[in-house]
Amino acid sequence: MTGSLPLRELIIQGTYLVSSVFFIVGLRGLSSPEKARAGMGYAAVGMLLAIVGTLIHAEIVSYTWVFWGLLAGTTIGIVIGRPLFITVPMTAMPQWVALSHAAGAVAATLVGVNEYMLLSAAGTLPAGTMAALGFEVLLGALTVTGSIMAFGKLQEILPGRPVTWPLQNVMNLVLLTGALGLVVALMLHPEHSAYFWVMLAIAASLGVLMVLPIGGADMPVVISLLNAYAGLSASAMGFALDNNLLIIVGALDGASGLLLSILMCKAMNRSFTNVLFGAFGAPAAAAGKLADGREMRAITPEDAAVRLGYARLVVVVPGYGLAVAQAQHALRELTDLLEKRGVEVKYAIHPVAGRMPGHMNVLLAEANVPYDRLFDMEEVNGEFPRTDVALVIGANDVVNPAARTDPSSPIYGMPILDVDKARSVMVLKRGKGAGFAGIENELFFEPKTFMLFGDAKASLARLVTEVKSM
Amino acid sequence: MSLTTVIQLYVFVLAGFVGYQVISRVPPLLHTPLMSAANALTGISLVGSLVAAGSNHGTLSNVMGFIAVICATVNVVGGFLITDRMLKMFKRDDRKSK
């Protein structure tokens, strides 16, 4: 490097460097629950430094728009966001995370569009910068529409079941190739702005088309993946604007999104491509009965309470149904009562239970269940043979033994909680229908399985009353 | 390819590697907060938005930057608020000490 930087640039770069370190230290904090909050504090300081460092940027000549923008954003975030984030149930968190992604990606896309318009008008758009801008806008626009689709599906504004049609994947692939081709064309002829707008339109429709065929059960993977895209879009912005901070934080984000989606796919024993192109979650077969005519066996709350109250070890297996019914507090009350009676209670958490990674952990934490009672699948599976009652609440596919035994099942090979090895199984379930993935569960028809039908919250409240009166 | 681009690629790859190493230590217990923390970090696009909103390149450019600043700020504020709300809930077993 020749020459030295002016003082102002040195200060900016110094601030950015410190900011990057804070971000990494912050993420490092997430490796343990005790340090996590402090870690996020570091990350917030990192973000603040990033803003301060940017505000002294030489290119910023007028602070009017900047000031009002920051003020409006913060106000919207706090005035509308805060009460919303505090009252919105934990179940609805994934879609709000998705919506928040969409907002960030809108910003990335707009910056890219703006930069393209300015540079192409000035006629100074080197191929490298154009490639970076192309990727920024492509990934940004895709994230915007994809996240909004994910929000719609999870909020049940749109149908959660996969929407499919013939040659869907081929069509998406053609569109993606087309968009990439346009980026290359723009690198050669940046002045053809029509290419740019068509590329933007394709990217936006790709976001919709790619999420449409993905079932609600796979949404966590999609949301993590969109997170990675948004991160990569920010990195691309960093390449276009010669900003190392954007590159670093974007890369951190991209890595974390990608890693999370891979971890989730592994937990479901499915490949990335299968999740993204497999259109998982076909319509369910007839409910309540197996092909061989066996039926589920119902149990009354009184009998259920007796079984729980006199057990030595109860392992609770929560699933999305618990979240939907908002029954985590009732569950905590029940397990407290059981523990007072001397029953040992453990919680078994399947990595993909719920709609996002670690969803059940957050949900139970909300109900003040201490996190040292929560056990990962590997830790707890060995416990089931000595478990008196496995209490399955609103979980289905993650306890379906077909994953081990039936090669024709769509979930075959997925690691599951070995609930069927427990001495008895009690299932709290809304009705006789199949699970979210639309697959019938053999476990519910086992002779040692008892079904307690009804809303999970109401059932748990009944159990609490019954156990109290024992 | 210029030297700057090469250095930027170094930075990108190394940051991605650091990210991978750091994130793979996060226990499944904290995966949801991690996801929303990563979402807060997406708001880093605020950096680019601020420059766009504050540069003197005409009203259209400023308005786009302005909207970008709003969106990115909502992302940052929302992301950190959601994450903090979640992390606040994680508690150790306090009943053992009773």
Put simply, whether A65 touches B (Cβ < 8 Å) is yes
- Look at residue A260 and tell me whether its pLDDT is greater than 80: yes
Contacts of B84 in chain A (CB under 8 A): 37, 40
Packing angle, helices B46-54 and A93-122, rounded to 10? 40
CB-CB contact of A274 with B39 (8 Å): no
pLDDT band at A164 (very low <50, low <70, confident <90, very high): confident
Q: Sheet harboring A344-349: ordered strands across?
A: A374-376, A344-349, A313-318, A389-393, A424-429, A449-453
Residue A371 is nearest to which of B23, B85, B92, comparing CB atoms?
Answer: B92
Q: Which residues pair with A453 in a beta bridge?
A: A429
pLDDT of residue A438: 58
- Chain A / chain B CB contacts < 8 angstroms: 371
Which of A158, A147, A137 minimizes the C-alpha distance to A102?
A147
- Average of per-residue pLDDT across A140-154: 91
H/E stretch holding A393 reads strand A389-393
Q: List the catalytic residue out of A242, A336, A388, A397.
A: A397
Q: How many helices (H) and strands (E) would you count in chain A? A: 18, 6
| Rounded CA separation A362/A36 (Å) | 13
- Look at residue A409 and tell me whether its pLDDT is greater than 90: no
- Look at residue B14 and tell me whether its pLDDT is greater than 90: yes
Q: What is the pLDDT of residues A441-467, one digit of tens each?
A: 888 888 888 888 888 888 899 999 988
- Average of per-residue pLDDT across B76-96: 80
Q: Is A388 a catalytic residue?
A: no
Q: Do B37 and A44 touch (CB under 8 A)?
A: no
pLDDT band at A237 (very low <50, low <70, confident <90, very high): very high
Residue A104 is nearest to which of B42, B85, B95, comparing CB atoms?
Answer: B42
- Look at residue A19 and tell me whether its pLDDT is greater than 80: yes
Give the residue ranges of DSSP H helices in A341-381.
359-366, 377-380
Contacts of A423 (CB under 8 A, 6+ apart): A387, A388, A389, A448
Contacts of A327 (CB under 8 A, 6+ apart): A393, A394, A455, A456, A457, A460
Q: Which two tokens stand for residue A248?
A: 């670093």
Q: Do A77 and B55 touch (CB under 8 A)?
A: no
Q: What is the pLDDT of residues A277-326, one digit of tens each?
A: 655 444 333 344 455 566 788 888 888 888 899 999 999 999 888 888 88
Q: What is the pLDDT of residues A99-119, one digit of tens each?
A: 888 999 999 999 999 999 998
Residue A81 is classified by DSSP as I
Q: Do A238 and B8 touch (CB under 8 A)?
A: yes
pLDDT of residue A76: 83
Nearest residue of chain B to residue A140 (CA atoms)? B45
Contacts of B50 in chain A (CB under 8 A): 51, 54-55, 57, 60, 66, 69-70
pLDDT of residue A286: 38
CB-CB contact of A114 with B52 (8 Å): yes
- Look at residue A162 and tell me whether its pLDDT is greater than 80: no
| Rounded CA separation A245/A140 (Å) | 18
pLDDT of residue B95: 53
Tokens 């709003």, residue located: B70
- Look at residue B22 and tell me whether its pLDDT is greater than 80: yes
CB-CB contact of A250 with A234 (8 Å): yes
Give the residue ranges of DSSP H helices in A76-192.
82-87, 93-122, 127-154, 168-188
Mean per-residue pLDDT of chain A: 85
CB-CB contact of B16 with B49 (8 Å): no
Q: Which two tokens stand for residue A388?
A: 């008196």
ipTM above 0.90, yes or no: yes
Q: What is the full DSSP assignment across B45-96? A: GHHHHHHHHHS-S-HHHHHHHHHHHHHHHHHHHHHHHHHHHHHHH-----ST
Contacts of A54 in chain B (CB under 8 A): 46-47, 50-51
Q: What is the pLDDT of residues A40-96, one digit of tens each?
A: 999 999 999 999 999 888 777 788 888 888 888 888 888 877 777 667 776 677 788
* Cα A445 from chain centre: 32
